[in-house]
Structure 1
Amino acid sequence: MIKAIHKGVSRAQGARPYQEDQYALADEAFAKSGFALYSVFDGHGGGEASRHASLNLPKLIVNSELFKKGDYVAAIKESFAQEDHLLADLFKGESRGGSTATVVLIAQGKMIVGNVGDSNAALAVRDADGKQQAISMSKEHKVDDECEAARLKDADAVVKKDRVIGPGHAINMTRALGDFDFKLPENGAPADWISPVPTMNEFKLTPANEFAIVASDGLWNHFSDSQLIPMIDEMLKTGDSPQSICDNFTTKLGQTPGSDNITFMLLQFEWAEEKQ
C-alpha cells in the first residue's frame, strides 16, 4: 500500500498577459483516510471558470453521496456536471470563458482520473527491465480525435481546421467546463458542442508505480509523457525533491518565448515495505 505521497506543485505565467491556471490539493488526511485528490484547471477566455472550479469541484466530489458509497467514477462524473451547472448560473450568459479540468483521485490502491480539455495526467510504471514507461491517464479532447469528430458532426457543430467555431470566436478543444455559447441552449444545436462530460480512466497501483504527473498544456506543449517520465525518474534518483523538480521546469519553461501558462504537479508515491 502507499504509505505517503510526496508532492510538488509550481506555476508560471509564461509569456501570457494573465495567469489563468489554477490547481487544488486535498491530501491532508491521506495517512488516515487513504484518499487524496489533486486537480489542475487551465482557464481560457478569462480566469473566472478555472478559479471557480478549483474552489468547488473537489468539494463536490468528496461530499457526493456516490463518493461516500465508493462509486468514485460516478461521483467524479456527477460533480463535473454539477460544477458546469454552477458556472452557468454564475455567468448567466455574460462570459464566454471556460476551463479544462483534470482530477486525480488516489483511493483504495487505485488512481482514478477524470478530465475535460487538454490538461493531462501521466503515470510512471517501471517495467521488467527497470526502465520507466509512461501510461497516459487522460485524453486530450481535440477536433482531430475520431470519436470527438463524430460527436461534433452529430451535434451539427461548425469545425474549421483545428477549432470549433462559435459566434465571433473559436476554441481549440472539444470538452471543457463553461464555454456556454458552445452548449445547449445557446448553440441552437441538437447537443453540446463543447461537452462537460469527462473521460474517465482507472489504474490499479502497485510498487512499480513510483510517481505521477498532472499538468496543464503549458508543460505538455514542450514534452510528451514518454519523454518526461524518464527525465523525472533520473532527477528523483539523484535526490531532487518533487518540489524542486516542479520549480525547475516551470521556471525554465516560463522564460521561453511564447510560452503558455504552466502548472506542473508531481506526485511521488512512497510504498510501505511488504511484510514477509
Structure 2
Amino acid sequence: MGELSYQDLLALFGIGGAHPGGIALTEAVLAGERLKKTTRVLDVGCGTGQTAAFLARTYGCQVTAVDLHPLMRQKAQERFAKEKLPVKLLKGDANKLPFPSGRFDLVLVESVTVFTDLAKSLKEYARVLRPGGILLDLEMTAERPLSAKELQELQGVYGTKQVPTEAEWIGRLQKAGLRDVLAVKGGTVASALPDAESGEGVWPEFNPSEGIDPGIYKIWERHQQVTESFKHRLGYRVYRAKKGTKSSS
C-alpha cells in the first residue's frame, strides 16, 4: 500500500457512520422520505454498507451501492451476505457513475462529495436521478468562508480541496441542475461530537481489519486534532434537492 489516506483509515477500521450524527441522523432523514419496495435508491460511496443495509432491511427498497475503495466494498459485501440482503454492490466513482441517466428515484450521499470534483459529482447525481427524483447529500460544510491556510490544513488530513459554506453548497447544487435545494438538518461539528465521559451521542460502528499498518494511527491522531481545532469552524448539513421535470425545467 502506498501513502495512507483518511479513506484508508475508514476502510481499515471499518468505520460505519463516520459522518456527524452517524446512522441515527441518516435514519431520521430517511424517515421523511416516501420509501417503498419499488423505490430505486443509489448509495454513493457506501463504505462498509451500513446505510445501504438499513435501507434494504427497513424499507425493502431496490438498493444499489457503489464505492471506489476495494476494502470498503469487501466489508460491505460481507455485511450484505451475512444479513442476506439483496443489495447490488458495484465499484463506482462519484465523478463518473456507471449508470444510465434517470435510473434512480433517490440518490443518497454521506460525506463523500466534499472529497470529489464537486462540479462533476453533483452533475452525475443529477444525471442518474429520474425527473422529480430526490438527492440527499450530507456534507462537511464551512460555518464561514475558510482561509487558504485553513483549507491547506484540512487538505493535509482529508485531501479535500475545498469546503463550501451552506450558501455555496446550495449554489453548486442549483448549478448542477437541481432545484428546491434546502439544508434540512445540520449543525457544527462540536454539536455532533459524542461525549466520552457521559457516553452520550452517536458513536460510529467499527469493524477493524487484522494487521493494521501502524502508520494509520498518525492519520487518526491528525484527524482528532483537526476535529477539535475546527469544531466550531466546520459543520455538517443534509442538503435535499430535487431533479426538475422536463415540463418545469
Check whether TM > 0.5: no
Q: Which has the higher contact order (CA 8 A, sep 6+)?
A: 1
TM-score by length of 1: 0.27
Answer 1 or 2: which has greater helix percent.
2
**Which has the larger strand fraction?**
1
Mark the structure with the bigger radius of gyration: 1
- TM-score, normalised to structure 2, is 0.29
